[in-house]
Amino acid sequence: MVTTVFEPDVALALESEPDEVKRRVGIMGGTFNPIHNGHLIMAEQVHSQLGLDEILFIPNNIPPHIDTKTAIDGETRAHLIELAIADNPHFNLDRIELTKGGVSYSIETIAQLKQQHPDTEYYFIIGADEVAYLPKWHRIEELVTMVTFVAVKRTGFTQPSTYPVIWIDTPLVEISSTDLRQRIEQQRSIRYLVPVKVAEYIVKNGLYQDDKH
Ligand code: ATP
């Protein structure tokens, strides 16, 4: 019989290693049609308050809600995200859902991410409007076992969650992509509602100028 005897400090190191190497990553999923300062503020607050390693912005290809109007193409939405997050070293863009194509389901995205990075813990960041909508998410019962949901307050949405959620206290920011698209179409200012580079790109390329988006 072979008996392995570890020195106490080696045994301790082996025991504590898995926890130490676990990365904690926040997921900001959405249509980002377009990205705005509300998204950036909530992501930054969750990052700092939970001490996460990184926030991944994941634009969807086709959102699952059937009532969502057609968004501008995925690559343009992704490019606007790139412009918006370029100056923040712990924000990154992941094109995983655009590359995959089809309807984007968070459960499939998280399963794919977890397969690629088994040692990472994922924190799924959502606004209070999505908290109310969670029971309708595709395969939600599985998804809640794979991520920790983190929620941020949003004006007009106070419904308690059916699922465990960590609420993060952030300033209430009343910016929405819907409101931005209307402002652009009506030629009202979007200055300070989106990062400067995002506003410049939208104007230069005439995005959201008509009401079909
Ligand atoms: P739309 O107006 O087109 O529905 P949106 O502004 O809600 O868009 P999404 O891309 O759908 O933007 O949002 C991605 C995630 O960010 C969702 O979970 C949404 O609830 C959340 N979110 C967006 N804006 C805010 C905000 N101002 N405050 C809190 N959460 C927000």
Which pLDDT value is given to residue 19? 54
CA pair distance 184, 199, nearest whole angstrom? 10
Ligand 1 pocket check for 68: Cβ under 6 Å: no
CA pair distance 124, 30, nearest whole angstrom? 11
Task: Dump pLDDT digits (tens) for 110-157.
Answer: 999 999 999 999 999 999 999 989 999 999 999 999 999 999 999 888
Residue 193, pLDDT above cutoff 90 = yes
The Cβ-side half-sphere exposure at 45, using a 13 Å CA radius, reads 21
Task: Dump pLDDT digits (tens) for 84-114.
Answer: 999 999 999 999 999 999 999 999 999 999 9
* Residue nearest atom 18 of ligand 1, based on CA coordinates: 126
Query: Percent of the chain beyond pLDDT 70?
Result: 86
Please tell me the pTM assigned to this model.
Answer: 0.89
Measured in Å, residue 149 CA sits from the centre of ligand 1 at 15
DSSP of the chain, one letter per residue?
A: -------HHHHHHHHHHHHHH-EEEEEEEE--TT--HHHHHHHHHHHHHHT-SEEEEEE-SB-S-TTPPPPSPHHHHHHHHHHHHTT-TTEEE--HHHHH-SB--HHHHHHHHHHH-TTEEEEEEEEHHHHHHGGGSTTHHHHHHHEEEEEE-BTTB-PPPSS-EEEE--------HHHHHHHHHTT---BTTB-HHHHHHHHHTTTT-STT-
* Residue nearest atom 19 of ligand 1, based on CA coordinates: 127
Which pLDDT value is given to residue 211? 57
Q: Which of 40, 45, 177, 183 to mutate to test the pocket of ligand 1 (most atoms within 8 A of CB)?
A: 177
Task: Dump pLDDT digits (tens) for 28-80.
Answer: 999 999 999 999 999 999 999 999 999 999 999 999 875 556 679 999 999 99
Which pLDDT value is given to residue 5? 43
Residue 189, pLDDT above cutoff 60 = yes
Which pLDDT value is given to residue 70? 60
Measured in Å, residue 207 CA sits from the centre of ligand 1 at 19
Which pLDDT value is given to residue 159? 75
Q: Between 59 and 22, name the one with better pLDDT.
A: 59
CA pair distance 60, 68, nearest whole angstrom? 12
Residue 176, pLDDT above cutoff 90 = yes
Dihedral sign, CA of 143, 78, 24, 129? negative
Q: What is the mean pLDDT of residues 8-37?
A: 76
Domain ranges across the chain = 10-14+21-174
Ligand 1 pocket check for 130: Cβ under 6 Å: yes
* Residue nearest atom 22 of ligand 1, based on CA coordinates: 127
Residue pair 198/78 in contact (Cβ under 8 Å)? The answer is: no
Ligand 1 pocket check for 154: Cβ under 6 Å: yes
Residue type, 212: K
Ligand 1 pocket check for 39: Cβ under 6 Å: yes
Fold designation for 10-14+21-174 = Rossmann fold (3.40.50)
Confidence of residue 174 (pLDDT cuts 50, 70, 90): very high
Measured in Å, residue 130 CA sits from the centre of ligand 1 at 8
Residue 208, pLDDT above cutoff 90 = yes
Measured in Å, residue 12 CA sits from the centre of ligand 1 at 44
CA pair distance 98, 175, nearest whole angstrom? 25
